[in-house]
Amino acid sequence: MRSPMELDTPKPLKKDPPAPFNLDAWQLAEDMWQALTGGYIPVKWNHIQVYGKAKEVCQALHQDIDNLVNRKEVIYLMPLVKTLGQALYRYPLEEKSRTTLLPCPSCNLKTVYSPPSEFGDDLQVKCHSCGFVIPPEKMAFYANLAERERV
């Protein structure tokens, strides 16, 4: 039998599991890095270091753009352009607005679910024809419908 002291001690809390690793996104980043630098992303670097170095390389290319475009070596940047296009197609910078399954309660036309564009922004379900905004207490219901329709 356990003593009262043992029952009062809290159990250690488990940490949240790490986020799943997206291999496709990593491969696109690696391909862009190789097109920019000719090497692999250093394993010990974090995303901030990779971003900083990539920004430095891009700024150097941009400053010498007039000279660069007139040289035959500019073709070596074509894989970067192609890979960047693939990345933007697969992982757009902004989520597009979508119509919901239910019509607007005010004018009976389709409402639009506008996802937050920046961290901390509120999502909004709004009718684009009459301007009616879904009240906060019904927001989760409409957002859930929009998400279901997307899948």
Does residue 32 lie within any of the structural domains?
Answer: yes
More confident residue, 48 or 136: 48
Does residue 8 lie within any of the structural domains?
Answer: no
**Contact status, residue 124 vs residue 135, Cβ threshold 8 Å:** no
Query: Which residues form the domain of 138?
Result: 98-150
Q: How far apart are CA 84 and CA 45, in angstroms?
A: 21
Q: Which of 65, 90, 115 is the last residue in one of the domains?
A: 90
CA angle at 132 for the pair 142 and 144, rounded to the nearest 5°: 5
Q: pTM for this one?
A: 0.54
Mark whether 35 and 66 lie in a shared domain. Answer: yes
Give the chain's domain count: 2
**Portion of the chain with pLDDT greater than 90, in percent:** 17
Give the three-state DSSP class for 8. Answer: helix
Q: Which of 64, 90, 116 is the last residue in one of the domains?
A: 90
Residues present in the chain in total: 151
Mark whether 32 and 84 lie in a shared domain. Answer: yes
Does residue 17 lie within any of the structural domains?
Answer: no
Mark whether 83 and 61 lie in a shared domain. Answer: yes
Does residue 54 lie within any of the structural domains?
Answer: yes
Confidence of residue 21 (pLDDT cuts 50, 70, 90): confident
DSSP collapsed to 3 states, 67-87: HHCCCHHHHHHHHHHHHHHHH
Residue 56 pLDDT more than 90? yes
More confident residue, 23 or 95: 23
